[in-house]
């Protein structure tokens, strides 16, 4: 007589096997398909998120009359792909999109899911938002919010360790020169619907500058524990948007006279970090946000890196006139990734040792620098369709 193992024991056995083998075992039965899809795949995805396999970024190059742009990918830790060219990874998601990919379409990346926003308004393509999973070769068209208006700024929120569902967030600016969005449109893959709510800041931000480029938030987003974090264009403020309740917070940044205007935010081991150069520009400081989920969080200085000591190891960088900035933070170790428009290095905060990750070919530059480099890790979760499947 056959013995039926409990589900938790089956999951423990399956998670000891190679992930590709487990994904094929979904064909064994409906019960195994459900168990692997709902339990094993999120576990595999959460484990993969702790070990990034590459960098997604935009490259720029000189053309007559300006600059050209294209999407690029560099694998990590072994750089196997041809950095600075449209390689196989970029092709893997570009071919799934129902429109020609351009640098304006790629918007965000979170734990293996990519968000693309189509700004053009054509009835032949009724969708604005697309979520791609290159691992499962899926491209999901997200139903448009109501009222239907052209998208501006958006982010994707996904943590396979917490939930199999993701959210797409649209930030709405109704008035010019506002310091942060006034409303959020939030789409949940759990319900398949959008919900609109007002942004309710507990602290009023200073009035934005008169220049139109001075309002709003920086495009880069960090998702952590049901919250999305963005740096405001108003200097010295980080905005925390709560996706589950109208409880948003403006957090003053630690550097009031930083050499870099906005600095960098990143996530590692469940904590949020901020990095910026000091007023002199000679030190890169890294701060940890303590009591992150409370109304009055505060910053704790954790590390300082000497710019002179760093650039002395890379004379080409010193001679180029570029400076190192924080481009990414490893999600599960003491490594940060520092970069400039032509190269990225890894820096171990414990040993103070650095290694070159990749250098771009001559004539190419990383576009938008520290605000538009994303770490990528595979996601094994199968996404649900809503309006239709564009893949």
- pLDDT of 6 reads 76
Nearest to 176 by CA among 213, 220, 219: 213
CA distance 379 to 382: 9
HSE (side-chain half, CA atoms, 13 Å) at 383: 30
91: three-class secondary structure by DSSP: helix
Nearest to 155 by CA among 239, 45, 59, 270: 239
- Residue 81 in this model has a pLDDT that exceeds 60: no
**Confidence category of residue 82, pLDDT binned at 50, 70, 90:** very low
Higher pLDDT, 370 or 228: 228
- pLDDT of 389 reads 47
Average pLDDT, the chain: 83
Nearest to 47 by CA among 26, 74, 27, 17: 17
**Confidence category of residue 382, pLDDT binned at 50, 70, 90:** confident
Higher pLDDT, 200 or 165: 165
Q: What is the pLDDT of residues 94-114, one digit of tens each?
A: 899 888 887 778 889 999 999
- Residue 243 in this model has a pLDDT that exceeds 90: yes
Q: What is the pLDDT of residues 334-373, one digit of tens each?
A: 999 999 888 899 999 999 999 999 888 888 889 877 788 9
Length reported for the chain: 391
**Confidence category of residue 25, pLDDT binned at 50, 70, 90:** confident
Average pLDDT over residues 269-289: 89
Q: What is the pLDDT of residues 296-327, one digit of tens each?
A: 899 999 999 988 888 888 877 666 667 788 99
- Cis amide leading into 147 (omega within 30): yes
Nearest to 130 by CA among 107, 158, 112: 107
- The partner residues of 232 in beta bridges, in order of sequence, read 217
Burial 49-82 (b: 16+ CB within 10 A, else e): beebbbbbbbbbbeeeeeeebbbbbbbbeebebe
Burial 10-44 (b: 16+ CB within 10 A, else e): bbeebeeeebeebbeebeeeeebeebbbebbbbbb
Higher pLDDT, 24 or 122: 24
Average pLDDT over residues 266-287: 89
The order of strands in the sheet holding 283-290 is 264-268, 271-277, 283-290, 298-306
Nearest to 386 by CA among 210, 40, 139, 80: 139
C-alpha pair distances (Å), 385 with each of 15, 138, 233: 26, 9, 36
């Amino acid at each position: 007589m056959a013995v039926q193992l409990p589900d938790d024991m089956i999951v423990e056995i399956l998670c000891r096997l190679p992930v590709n083998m487990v994904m094929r075992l979904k064909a064994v039965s409906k019960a195994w398909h459900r168990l692997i899809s709902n339990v094993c795949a999120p576990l595999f995805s959460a484990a993969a998120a702790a070990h990034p396999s590459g960098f997604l970024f935009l490259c720029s190059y000189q053309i007559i009359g300006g600059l050209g742009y294209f999407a690029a990918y560099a694998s990590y830790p072994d750089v196997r792909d041809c950095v600075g060219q449209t390689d196989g990874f970029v092709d893997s998601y570009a071919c799934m999109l129902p429109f020609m990919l351009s640098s304006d379409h790629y918007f965000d990346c979170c734990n293996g899911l990519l968000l693309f926003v189509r700004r053009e308004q054509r009835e032949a393509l009724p969708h604005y938002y697309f979520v791609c999973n290159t691992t499962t070769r899926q491209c999901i068209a997200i139903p448009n919010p109501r009222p239907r208006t052209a998208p501006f700024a958006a982010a994707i929120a996904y943590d396979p360790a917490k939930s199999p569902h993701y959210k797409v967030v649209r930030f709405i600016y109704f008035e010019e020169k506002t310091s942060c969005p006034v409303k959020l449109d939030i789409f949940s893959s759990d319900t398949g619907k959008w919900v609109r709510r007002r942004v309710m800041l507990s602290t009023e931000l200073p009035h934005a500058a008169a220049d139109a480029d001075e309002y709003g938030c920086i495009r880069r987003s960090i998702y952590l524990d049901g919250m999305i974090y963005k740096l405001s264009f108003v200097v010295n403020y980080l905005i925390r948007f709560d996706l589950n309740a109208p409880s948003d917070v403006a957090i003053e940044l630690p550097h009031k006279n930083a050499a870099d205007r906005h600095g960098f935010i990143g996530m590692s081991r469940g904590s949020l970090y901020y990095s910026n150069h000091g007023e002199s520009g000679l030190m890169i400081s890294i701060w940890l946000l303590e009591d992150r989920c409370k109304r009055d969080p505060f910053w704790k200085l954790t590390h300082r890196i000497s710019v002179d000591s760093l650039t002395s190891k890379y004379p080409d960088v010193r001679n180029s006139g570029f400076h190192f900035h924080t481009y990414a933070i490893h999600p599960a170790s003491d490594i940060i990734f520092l970069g400039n428009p032509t190269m990225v290095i890894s820096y171990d905060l414990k040993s103070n040792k650095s290694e070159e990750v990749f250098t771009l070919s001559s004539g190419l530059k990383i576009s938008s620098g520290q605000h538009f480099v994303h770490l990528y890790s595979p996601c094994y979760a199968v996404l649900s369709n809503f309006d239709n499947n564009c893949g």
